[in-house]
Amino acid sequence: MLSARKVMQISQIIPVISVQSVEEALRLAEALMLGGVNIFEITLRTACALDAIKAVAHEFPEAMTGAGTVLNADQFQRVEDMGARFAISPGLTHELAYYKNSIPLLPGVATASEIMKGLEYGYDAFKLFPANIVGGVEAIKAFGAPFRDVVFCPTGGVNAGNAKEYLALENVLCVGGSWIVPTKLIQEQNFKEITKITQEALLALR
């Protein structure tokens, strides 16, 4: 099975996508790929999310389509059934941690105790959520001292202005966020601009 760490090494940015239709998901995925990002976290926050995961995974097998906002074992199973290749959760529960699935889970943490709990369950790669609110770059630096082998994907409030600072940390493998897929541009169906923002974001991280 692909590990969560491997998923985190695919791209410096994992876009957090919430879509209103399957068509929108397909066009967004295409725009992101044109911009150089070939991994997507499609959140289970809209009615069409499962169908969108299925369509994007099928249409773009060369990309890494994953599911976000996976809150329980039932959802974890369903996203795998739809073709998701990884799952991300804002937190971690006993049920999720022990659910036997063949795709990796990137669980969310916000505190030292949550990291310790995750380690007990066998996880050592986490989404830090909501990153900017729970201490941002300084929190990840501080967690690096006691948790030397733990890596993070900060998400929540990450943007063009702070992504580079996060990615400069040794214990950050990638960042997640919705800033490269602004709702306004999606509503306006301005997918060209999303490609441009994606290209610029990647360039700025060089």
Q: Does 16 bind ligand 3PG (CB under 6 A)?
A: yes
Neighbours of 48 (CB within 10 A): 17
Nearer to ligand 3PG, 75 or 155 (CB): 155
Minimum CB separation of residue 112 from ligand 3PG in Å reads 20
Helix (H, G, I), strand (E, B) or coil at 100: coil
Amino acid at 193: E
> Strands 105-106, 64-68: parallel, antiparallel or unpaired by DSSP?
unpaired
Minimum CB separation of residue 157 from ligand 3PG in Å reads 5
Q: Does 156 bind ligand 3PG (CB under 6 A)?
A: yes
What phi and psi values does residue 147 have, to the nearest 5 degrees?
-115, 75
Q: Does 176 bind ligand 3PG (CB under 6 A)?
A: yes
Residues tagged active-site: 41, 127
Specify the stretch interacting with ligand 3PG by CB under 6 A; choose among 145-153, 154-162, 186-194, 198-206: 154-162
Q: Does 194 bind ligand 3PG (CB under 6 A)?
A: no
Q: Does 155 bind ligand 3PG (CB under 6 A)?
A: yes
Cα–Cα distance, 152 to 154 (Å, whole number): 6
22-35 and 191-204 helices, crossing angle to 10°: 40
Q: Does 162 bind ligand 3PG (CB under 6 A)?
A: no
Q: Does 25 bind ligand 3PG (CB under 6 A)?
A: no
Question: With contact defined as beta carbons under 8 Å apart, do 196 and 169 qualify?
Answer: no
Minimum CB separation of residue 145 from ligand 3PG in Å reads 25
Cα–Cα distance, 96 to 117 (Å, whole number): 13
Q: Which of the residues 28 through 67 are near ligand 3PG (CB under 6 A)?
A: none
Encoded tokens for 146: 């006691």
Q: Which residues bind ligand 3PG (CB under 6 A)?
A: 16, 68, 129, 155-158, 176-179
